[in-house]
């Protein structure tokens, strides 16, 4: 699994003119899932996301996690995070998991993050043409890949 976390002061997802998910302070998380991903990857990544200390404390140091600032998550499925770009100019997406594997893992990630944060995780719609709006705070953008745990 690969995730791009963007610390935001607000973010939203719109599909067909309707807002499907919207948050104030927190993380916009773009989540890519590949065929080789497991529940171990999911659990590790969910813990990393929920525990990532990139919110400012009283000394303006990045020292607080989502729970410390009552932050929210907008979770967006993003198969293009597994684009293969070595050859040519047209990316390939063969490493990205097909929907029969990706959808259940995406839904489990929603449940896991909701449980860790003890609040609802806002979402887009898997496979839809989504319009994402955000105000990146900082900017702070963190990339996490479960294949690079060490």
pLDDT for 111-150, tens place per residue?
999 999 999 999 999 999 999 999 999 999 999 999 988 7
Q: Crossing angle for the helix pair 99-117 and 39-51, nearest 10 degrees?
A: 40
In this structure, which CATH number among 3.30.70.2340, 3.20.20.70, 3.50.80.10, 3.90.1150.10 belongs to the domain 2-148? Answer: 3.50.80.10
80 is catalytic: yes
- In this prediction, residue 28 carries a pLDDT of 98
- Please give the Cα distance from 145 to 2 (Å, whole number): 4
Q: Which residue has the tokens 């499925």?
A: 77
| Predicted TM-score of the model (pTM) | 0.94
Which one is catalytic: 38, 80, 123, 141?
A: 80
């Amino acid at each position: 699994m690969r995730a791009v976390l963007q610390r935001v002061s607000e973010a939203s997802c719109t599909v067909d003119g309707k807002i499907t998910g919207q948050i104030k302070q927190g993380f916009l998380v773009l989540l890519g899932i590949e065929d080789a991903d497991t529940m171990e990857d999911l659990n590790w990544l969910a813990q990393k996301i929920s525990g990532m200390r990139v919110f400012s404390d009283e000394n303006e140091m990045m020292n607080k996690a989502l729970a410390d600032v009552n932050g929210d998550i907008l979770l967006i499925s993003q198969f293009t995070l597994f684009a293969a770009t070595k050859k040519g100019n047209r990316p390939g997406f063969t490493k990205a998991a097909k929907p029969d594997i990706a959808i259940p893992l995406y839904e489990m990630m929603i449940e896991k993050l909701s449980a860790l944060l003890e609040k609802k995780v806002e979402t887009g719609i898997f496979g839809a043409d989504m319009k994402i709006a955000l105000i990146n705070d900082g900017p702070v953008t963190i990339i996490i890949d479960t294949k690079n745990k060490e």
